[in-house]
A and B are shown apart, each in its own frame.
Chain A
């Protein structure tokens, strides 16, 4: 019965990954990453339930904290880029290539 949750988390993860690939706006891309992280959380919690131990749930909390930290850093970077380029599009920033 935990299977459904796993499937859901899988879906979420896939959606997030796809979002990263499809969306241009850096913020959205970043939110997709967060979505992937949360998919992980769901999986952890599910497994915690399945194995009947707390580890998974504890991990989920850790992940949230890390994600928060990531947000801080990420937004800082993205905002700077936006200020410089007047655009938050991931594709605009491709001076570095080949």
Chain B
């Protein structure tokens, strides 16, 4: 090798959204450093929101301009293709919405350093001080979420993974109420996250060992040429899978989800349940079909088992949950399973799979927005000690505030996939894709896909049970004497719930526009 190193070329235009978000994040840190305490919030809020919206606008512009690069940007490190842009858009909307929620008073601890119940804490609360670092942290996390599904080599992906996760670890620990739980969640998430990312990295190393490169394009080339049964490759594939599946919370790597979702401040839970999931699924798609597409005969059967297990665990365990946030966590596990069905379906050789790809993208959009809405509602049902998580406290909510309960019930029905809600079309699209690919001649699984879909159907029937159970509680049972109070929602929260509701209803009635969007995004497939 000669010593000459050419200067790398960076497509700033294409990367603009990403850069904007990261830039704003850095700016946020500076604000933390220099702006006076009383001003910070006033600066952060618009900065964060504007940067997110701006980034979203940039994404729109790129889409409208339409001339996507044939090859990955930044020396093949970042692939900015249809799916990536779609996911970026989704992530940006979600994070913007979540920021509205985050901005509400009373979610975050006054001073994380202060011991719960200590005098410092009281003073801090009295002083009304708060952690404005939250905003830059969120921005970093969002940046990570954008980079994660877009990164075109395993290194970038690893870095993105960490950039996404590290801020979230911290944010999980910053709940104002029930701080012990919050901190516990944070620690568990951190340790397990680090643990799993170590697996990811080792997997990457193995694959590097096999292919001599970590760029997905290179890997798939290598797969195209050499023998596919190299144990290095298999181990690498497995460990890589561990890291990714951990992030989307697929069984048997789902253990962290309930705990973390429950302990974390609800707005952050919303961000994780929506944004992280979207990003992670995007990353899974990219790795498994761009990098390892030629290996599908090996990984699809395994993925089949994982998907099945995930759906079952998620929906069965949710039945007996008594904590609303835990229940939603399990439900998100079940939905991860449904998404994996989509991932399974998306194997066919280039061109064939755009259908199922768009199905997944559609599912991600509608599901994540409904989720955010649901968590937003959770933030409003309060007890003296904070949010009322225990389901028994939700009894008779329909009597006390019919509108809120009605909205929540609607979200639940959407989760359950009842027709005329967005959730139904999400499920429908994924199932259709799966059956479709199963029917394709030369599908490695064939009839097994039908089996998986039937399993999915049964799972969603089981899942329906616990969604319905909450509705029963809210509407059919008499209110508890000292029922929870319904906080007067801030403009932000109202906006969040409204957006979520509009999408859930609107897409439920007229899914075609969103479908077109997803189809368009999927039509180009991934850059290889």
The answer on direct contact between A and B (beta carbons under 8 Å) is yes
Picked from B162, B170, B204, the residue with its CB within 8 Å of the CB of A76 is: B170
Which B189-221 residues have a C-beta within 8 angstroms of A?
190-191, 194-195, 198, 201-202, 204-206, 208-209, 212-214
List chain A residues, Cβ under 8 A from B266.
Answer: none
CB distance from B147 to the nearest CB of A (A): 13
List chain B residues, Cβ under 8 A from A81.
Answer: 183-184, 186-187
Q: Mark A69-98, 1 if CB is under 8 A from B, else 0.
A: 110011011101101110000100111110
B463 at the interface (CB under 8 A from A): no
List chain A residues, Cβ under 8 A from B180.
Answer: 84-85, 93, 95
A39-B191 contact, Cβ under 8 Å, with A76-B170, A95-B181, A96-B263: no
CB distance from A31 to the nearest CB of B (A): 11
A96 to B262, CA, bound (A): 8
A97 to B188, CA, bound (A): 12
Contact B191 A62 (CB under 8 A): no
Contact B162 A66 (CB under 8 A): yes
List chain A residues, Cβ under 8 A from B214.
Answer: 55, 59
Main secondary structure, interface of B, reads helix
A57 to B321, CA, bound (A): 48
Picked from A9, A40, A80, A97, the residue with its CB within 8 Å of the CB of B259 is: A97
CB distance from B195 to the nearest CB of A (A): 6
Which A17-70 residues have a C-beta within 8 angstroms of B?
17, 20, 26, 29-30, 33, 36-37, 39-40, 43-44, 46-47, 50-51, 53-56, 58-59, 62-63, 66, 69-70
In the complex, identify which listed stretch (B111-119, B396-404, B477-485, B497-505) lies at the interface while the others stay far away. Answer: B111-119
In the complex formed, the residue of A with least CB distance to B262 is A96
B234 at the interface (CB under 8 A from A): no
A77-B183 contact, Cβ under 8 Å, with A33-B191, A66-B162: yes
Contact B202 A13 (CB under 8 A): yes
List chain B residues, Cβ under 8 A from A74.
Answer: 169, 190-191, 194
List chain B residues, Cβ under 8 A from A54.
Answer: 1
A81 to B115, CA, bound (A): 9
A40-B202 contact, Cβ under 8 Å, with A69-B166, A77-B183: yes
Contact A56 B202 (CB under 8 A): no
A43 to B205, CA, bound (A): 6
A33-B186 contact, Cβ under 8 Å, with A55-B214, A76-B170, A95-B181: no
Please tell me the number of chain A residues within 8 Å of chain B, measured between CB atoms.
47
Contact A96 B112 (CB under 8 A): no
In the complex formed, the residue of B with least CB distance to A36 is B198
Main secondary structure, interface of A, reads helix
CB distance from B160 to the nearest CB of A (A): 11
A44-B191 contact, Cβ under 8 Å, with A62-B159, A69-B166, A84-B179: no
List chain A residues, Cβ under 8 A from B206.
Answer: 43
A80 to B213, CA, bound (A): 40
CB distance from B158 to the nearest CB of A (A): 7
A79 to B466, CA, bound (A): 38
In the complex formed, the residue of B with least CB distance to A38 is B198
List chain B residues, Cβ under 8 A from A97.
Answer: 259
Interface-centre pick from B169, B170, B183 (highest chain A CB count, 10 A): B183
List chain B residues, Cβ under 8 A from A36.
Answer: 195, 198, 202
Interface-centre pick from A39, A93, A97 (highest chain B CB count, 10 A): A93
List chain B residues, Cβ under 8 A from A78.
Answer: 187
Contact A96 B198 (CB under 8 A): no
A20-B209 contact, Cβ under 8 Å, with A83-B115, A84-B179: no
B307 at the interface (CB under 8 A from A): no
CB distance from B26 to the nearest CB of A (A): 15
Interface-centre pick from A13, A50, A73, A81 (highest chain B CB count, 10 A): A73
List chain A residues, Cβ under 8 A from B158.
Answer: 62-63, 66
B185 at the interface (CB under 8 A from A): yes
A43-B209 contact, Cβ under 8 Å, with A26-B187, A77-B170: yes
List chain B residues, Cβ under 8 A from A55.
Answer: 155, 208, 212-214
Contact B166 A70 (CB under 8 A): yes
Contact A93 B187 (CB under 8 A): yes
CB distance from B235 to the nearest CB of A (A): 10
Contact A80 B212 (CB under 8 A): no
B423 at the interface (CB under 8 A from A): no
Contact B205 A26 (CB under 8 A): no
A44 to B169, CA, bound (A): 27
B249 at the interface (CB under 8 A from A): no
Which 3 pairs across A and B sit closest by C-beta, in order of nearness? A36-B198, A43-B205, A96-B259
Give 4 new A-B contacts, CB below 8 A, not counting A80-B112, A80-B113. Answer: A37-B201, A55-B213, A74-B194, A77-B183
Q: List 18 A-B contacts (CB under 8 A).
A: A29-B191, A33-B194, A44-B208, A47-B205, A47-B209, A47-B212, A51-B212, A58-B155, A66-B159, A73-B166, A73-B169, A73-B170, A78-B187, A81-B184, A85-B180, A93-B188, A95-B181, A96-B259
